Protein backbone atom coordinates (compact mmCIF):
# COMPACT_ATOMS: atom_id res chain seq x y z
CA UNK A 1 0.00 0.00 0.00
CA UNK A 2 2.99 2.29 0.40
CA UNK A 3 3.83 2.24 -3.28
CA UNK A 4 4.69 5.48 -5.01
CA UNK A 5 2.16 6.82 -7.48
CA UNK A 6 3.88 8.51 -10.37
CA UNK A 7 0.73 9.69 -12.09
CA UNK A 8 -1.84 12.09 -10.78
CA UNK A 9 -5.54 11.24 -10.80
CA UNK A 10 -5.95 13.80 -13.58
CA UNK A 11 -3.30 12.10 -15.71
CA UNK A 12 -4.91 8.70 -15.23
CA UNK A 13 -8.32 10.12 -16.20
CA UNK A 14 -6.85 11.73 -19.31
CA UNK A 15 -5.28 8.43 -20.37
CA UNK A 16 -8.65 6.74 -19.90
CA UNK A 17 -10.33 9.45 -21.99
CA UNK A 18 -7.79 8.94 -24.77
CA UNK A 19 -8.44 5.18 -24.80
CA UNK A 20 -12.21 5.76 -24.98
CA UNK A 21 -11.70 8.30 -27.76
CA UNK A 22 -9.58 5.83 -29.75
CA UNK A 23 -12.28 3.16 -29.44
CA UNK A 24 -14.94 5.65 -30.55
CA UNK A 25 -12.88 6.74 -33.56
CA UNK A 26 -11.95 3.15 -34.44
CA UNK A 27 -15.66 2.44 -34.69
CA UNK A 28 -16.21 5.54 -36.82
CA UNK A 29 -18.51 7.18 -34.28
CA UNK A 30 -18.45 10.97 -34.06
CA UNK A 31 -18.77 12.74 -30.73
CA UNK A 32 -22.24 13.88 -31.77
CA UNK A 33 -23.27 10.31 -32.62
CA UNK A 34 -21.79 9.10 -29.34
CA UNK A 35 -23.92 11.64 -27.52
CA UNK A 36 -27.06 10.32 -29.19
CA UNK A 37 -26.11 6.68 -28.64
CA UNK A 38 -25.45 6.96 -24.91
CA UNK A 39 -27.59 9.88 -23.78
CA UNK A 40 -24.64 11.92 -22.53
CA UNK A 41 -24.47 15.52 -23.69
CA UNK A 42 -22.18 16.38 -26.56
CA UNK A 43 -20.45 18.94 -24.33
CA UNK A 44 -19.72 16.31 -21.68
CA UNK A 45 -18.21 13.94 -24.23
CA UNK A 46 -16.14 16.73 -25.74
CA UNK A 47 -14.91 17.83 -22.29
CA UNK A 48 -14.14 14.24 -21.27
CA UNK A 49 -11.99 13.58 -24.32
CA UNK A 50 -10.19 16.90 -23.84
CA UNK A 51 -9.71 16.92 -20.05
CA UNK A 52 -10.60 13.47 -18.69
CA UNK A 53 -13.37 14.95 -16.53
CA UNK A 54 -16.69 13.11 -16.49
CA UNK A 55 -19.16 11.69 -14.01
CA UNK A 56 -19.07 7.98 -13.30
CA UNK A 57 -22.64 7.64 -14.54
CA UNK A 58 -21.78 9.28 -17.87
CA UNK A 59 -18.64 7.14 -18.23
CA UNK A 60 -20.75 4.04 -17.62
CA UNK A 61 -23.24 5.16 -20.29
CA UNK A 62 -20.40 5.72 -22.77
CA UNK A 63 -18.88 2.32 -21.96
CA UNK A 64 -22.25 0.64 -22.47
CA UNK A 65 -22.75 2.37 -25.82
CA UNK A 66 -19.30 1.18 -26.91
CA UNK A 67 -20.12 -2.35 -25.71
CA UNK A 68 -17.40 -2.05 -23.06
CA UNK A 69 -19.55 -2.10 -19.90
CA UNK A 70 -17.68 -5.14 -18.58
CA UNK A 71 -14.59 -2.95 -18.25
CA UNK A 72 -16.42 -0.90 -15.62
CA UNK A 73 -18.49 -3.76 -14.23
CA UNK A 74 -15.31 -5.61 -13.22
CA UNK A 75 -13.40 -2.61 -11.91
CA UNK A 76 -11.88 -3.31 -8.47
CA UNK A 77 -12.94 -6.95 -8.64
CA UNK A 78 -9.56 -8.63 -8.32
CA UNK A 79 -7.61 -6.29 -6.09
CA UNK A 80 -4.92 -8.22 -4.20
CA UNK A 81 -4.63 -7.91 -0.45
CA UNK A 82 -2.00 -5.43 0.68
CA UNK A 83 -1.42 -7.06 4.05
CA UNK A 84 -2.61 -9.79 6.39
CA UNK A 85 -4.51 -7.10 8.29
CA UNK A 86 -6.69 -6.51 5.23
CA UNK A 87 -7.58 -10.20 5.14
CA UNK A 88 -8.49 -10.13 8.82
CA UNK A 89 -10.56 -6.94 8.50
CA UNK A 90 -12.47 -8.25 5.52
CA UNK A 91 -13.61 -11.29 7.44
CA UNK A 92 -15.05 -9.28 10.34
Residue-level pLDDT at 12: 95
Question: pLDDT tens digit string along 39-89?
Answer: 999 999 999 999 999 999 999 999 999 999 999 999 999 999 999 999 888
**DSSP percent split of the chain into helix, strand, coil, nearest 5:** 65, 0, 35
* Three-state DSSP string of 31-44: HHHHHHHHCCCHHH
Mean pLDDT score, 12-40: 98
Asked if 18 and 60 touch (Cβ cutoff 8 Å), the reply is: no
Asked if 50 and 78 touch (Cβ cutoff 8 Å), the reply is: no
Higher local confidence (pLDDT), 68 or 6? 68
Asked if 44 and 34 touch (Cβ cutoff 8 Å), the reply is: no
**Tell me, what DSSP letter sits at residue 55?**
-
Structural domains of the chain, with CATH? 9-71 (1.10.260.40)
**Model's pTM, two decimal places?**
0.85
Amino acid sequence: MNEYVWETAEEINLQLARRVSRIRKRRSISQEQMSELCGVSYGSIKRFERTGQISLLSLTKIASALDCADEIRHLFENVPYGSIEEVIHERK
